[in-house]
Amino acid sequence: MTKAIEAEGLVKRFGATQALAGVDISADRGQVLALLGPNGAGKTTIVRILATLLRPDSGRASVCGYDVRSEGTVVRQLIALTGQYASVDDELTGTENLIMICRLLGMARPAARSRAHQMMEQFGLADAARRAVKTYSGGMRRRLDLAASLLGQPEVLFLDEPTTGLDPRARSQMWDTIRGVVTRGTTVLLTTQYLDEADELADQIAVIDHGVVVASGRPDELKARTGSQTLAVRAADPAHTAQVAAAVAEVTGMRPDVRGDTGLVTTAITDPAMAPAVIRRLDDAGILAAELSLHLPSLDEVFLTLTGQRTEDDGKAA
Amino acid sequence: MTTHMDTPMAMPSTVTAGPPGLAPRNLRRRIGLRQALANGLTLAWRNVMQLKHSPEKLTDVTLMPIIFLVLFLYVFGGVVAGNTHNYLEQLLPGLFGQMALFASMGLGTALCEDIHKGVFDRFRSLPIARSAPLIGAVLGDTVRFCVVMAVLTGFGSALGFRFHAGPASIIAAYVVAYVFYQAMCWISALIGLIAPSPQTVQGIAVTWTMPLVFGSSVLLANTSTMPGWLQAWVKVNPVTDLADTVRALTTGGPVGSHLLLTLVWAAGIMIVAFPLAMRLYLRRV
């Protein structure tokens, strides 16, 4: 069975910037593949190449076995793209946007009209159907965008940062909608900067940094490598930071990351019981902790674990 | 549920893909000319709907004919023709060319803005003719032509302009102006595709339309006092051909070779500008 998405050795350069430096990814049919990475990692470039909007300098990519370069016309019949910036027409109403896409997909006018109304209803946009899209909220706009992408019942759906900039409620609504799409058998490739989003939705995650895949696998495999949680401890007296780091190292068996400016000691842990063990150790030593927390690793911490480097933005600030 | 697969659009030379979960579909290897035209018309409809929602976008084409008619008529009328009435009969047909040229320049800005938004990414990832978004933009701008011509003719009539020709040649005058307008739209599209930002489109458009509009027979300037090179320019300028054609058609005079020259110019411009615009468009972004 051919893969829904397959890319090998994708290279793309924009002037002096190496956007992609040899990317290999693949997704089976019906799977959700998440490309996880910071801004500028090359995620959008990969999506644009797979959606036939951009030609790679070298490398090969195919969708359902059709080459994106030589068989673009066929590929475009199988895919749909929801861009980073909503790819809907601001000046038309929501319904008009959907009618336009239906007509472009070859539907007759009455069929296009009824399909558009049905989708507006289904995506909870019926109340805003007659309003220009520029009056929509961010969440409504993304939903309309997704509705537009689903009109052609695509085999493969590309979602470029589908929830960036959305409030938490709109975000979880979007997740539900995406899950609904997946149950219909559509393969989804989504890009995201959020680890929890990839964790929630994806069957496979490819971590992208500086135009290469630095790690890939199932979410649980990656979490096993990066630690499922992050332990952060800060001594009340900055003079005790080194002792705190030593205590954490002793309990977890790993060398923690120490930030000189804040005195925050962090490390990835797999066993939540390690947190109370650290507290006891500090208590025994008579060290007071001003802060002690357990949380899901941030993207930055994942990168730190996988690549030994902070993400670029953070590196500059530190 | 209706899908695009059961519409009568399937073309020969298809391949099939039968994925799990989703219905098998007929995949087309090529997009035919008929579909290209249908796609173009749908996208032209989009432009017309935009104008319906934001009629203020038609402000320029509504005011331009009024401003230029008043200015030219009362500033130059006495000097050129002795009185404004005689001048109006000659000026208004000449302004067909100027107005068509000015009206076509809105397209470049709109296209440049459109491309910077996400919606063109969607068009480019849909299974539609590659040329459809450009064809749609050009066809959709027919509205601007209709408005500019309606205001020009209507306001001119209020000032005392009358046609002195049969309905057939009056219609012919509008048709020739429209064909010329279409050619200018493709140049405008080219500018919109070359310009780095929508703001720069305006500058480029003004720079190249000014010599065309004013170095022509639109205003009935006296060419005998011009330097030789400028006389030559006025002669070869297609706006001169269009102005003289429309003038002849609306006043009942002899058309001469101007009609043919206008059409040859328009065809030539389209033959060059269309593939060039397509290439730029597909390379863009």
User: For A283-293, how does the pLDDT look when each residue is reduced to its tens digit (9 = 90+)?
Assistant: 888 888 888 88
Alpha-carbon gap: B133 to the closest alpha carbon of chain A (Å): 11
User: Does residue A311 surpass a pLDDT of 60?
Assistant: no
Q: Which of B178, B145, B137, B179 has the alpha carbon at shortest distance from B277? A: B137
Cβ distance of B54 and A153 shorter than 8 Å: no
Contacts of B22 in chain A (CB under 8 A): 153, 155, 184-186
Contact between residue A33 and residue A27 where contact means Cβ atoms under 8 Å apart:
yes
Which residue is associated with the tokens 């109340």? A127
Cβ distance of A186 and B21 shorter than 8 Å: yes
- We find that the CATH architecture of domain A5-218 is 3-Layer(aba) Sandwich (3.40)
Domain A229-295, CATH: 3.30.70.100
Q: Indicate the domain borders of chain A.
A: 5-218, 229-295
**pTM for this predicted structure:** 0.80
Strands (E), chain B: 14-17, 25-28
Q: Indicate the domain borders of chain B.
A: 32-283
pLDDT top residue among B283 and A64: A64
> What is the average per-residue pLDDT within A43-64?
94
Contacts of B19 in chain A (CB under 8 A): 4, 29, 64, 155, 185
> What is the average per-residue pLDDT within A208-224?
87
How far is it, in rounded angstroms, from Cα B75 to Cα B125?
A: 53
Alpha-carbon gap: A46 to the closest alpha carbon of chain B (Å): 14
User: For A253-278, how does the pLDDT look when each residue is reduced to its tens digit (9 = 90+)?
Assistant: 888 888 888 888 988 887 878 888 88
DSSP at A259: -
Contacts of B124 in chain A (CB under 8 A): 52-53
DSSP code string of A171-209: HHHHHHHHHHHHHTT-EEEEEES-HHHHHHH-SEEEEEE
Q: In what order do the strands lie in the sheet with A66-67?
A: A17-27, A5-14, A58-63, A66-67
Question: From the list B20, B46, B127, which residue is nearest A77 (CB)?
Answer: B127
Contact between residue A32 and residue A202 where contact means Cβ atoms under 8 Å apart:
yes
Which residue is associated with the tokens 């979007």? A174
Give the pLDDT of residue B24. Answer: 59
Token duo for residue B242: 């269009």
> What is the average per-residue pLDDT within A294-317?
64
Alpha-carbon gap: A176 to the closest alpha carbon of chain B (Å): 19
As a whole number of Å, the end-to-end CA separation of chain B is 35
Give the pLDDT of residue B12. Answer: 36
Contacts of A186 in chain B (CB under 8 A): 21-22
Q: Which of A195, A197, A190 has the alpha carbon at shortest distance from A51? A: A190
User: For A158-172, how does the pLDDT look when each residue is reduced to its tens digit (9 = 90+)?
Assistant: 999 999 888 898 899
pLDDT band for position A222 (cuts 50, 70, 90) = confident
Q: Which of A209, A192, A302 has the alpha carbon at shortest distance from A18? A: A209
User: Does residue A91 surpass a pLDDT of 70?
Assistant: yes
> What is the average per-residue pLDDT within A108-131?
94
Give the pLDDT of residue A310. Answer: 60
> Containing H/E element for B31?
none
How far is it, in rounded angstroms, from Cα A98 to Cα A159?
A: 18
Q: Is there a shared CATH topology between the A5-218 domain and the A229-295 domain?
A: no
Question: From the list B1, B31, B53, which residue is nearest A91 (CB)?
Answer: B53
Cβ distance of B118 and A105 shorter than 8 Å: no
> What is the average per-residue pLDDT within A141-170?
91
The residues with which A66 forms a beta bridge, in sequence order, are A63
User: Does residue A9 surpass a pLDDT of 90?
Assistant: yes
Best to test chain A binding among B16, B34, B37, B121 (most A CBs inside 10 Å):
B121
Best to test chain A binding among B30, B122, B279, B282 (most A CBs inside 10 Å):
B122
Give the pLDDT of residue A150. Answer: 93
Interface of B with A (CB under 8 A): 1-4, 7, 9, 15, 17, 19-23, 25, 27-31, 35, 38-39, 42-43, 45-46, 49-50, 53-54, 117-119, 121-128, 132, 285
Question: Can you give the pLDDT of all 285 residues of chain B as single tens digits?
Answer: 444 443 333 333 444 444 444 555 778 888 888 889 999 999 999 999 999 999 999 999 999 999 999 999 998 888 887 888 889 988 999 999 999 999 999 999 989 988 888 788 889 899 999 899 999 999 999 999 999 999 999 999 999 999 999 999 999 999 999 999 999 999 999 999 999 888 899 899 888 899 998 889 888 878 888 899 999 999 999 999 999 999 999 988 888 899 999 999 999 999 999 999 999 988 765
Cβ distance of A85 and B118 shorter than 8 Å: yes
Contact between residue A58 and residue A18 where contact means Cβ atoms under 8 Å apart:
no
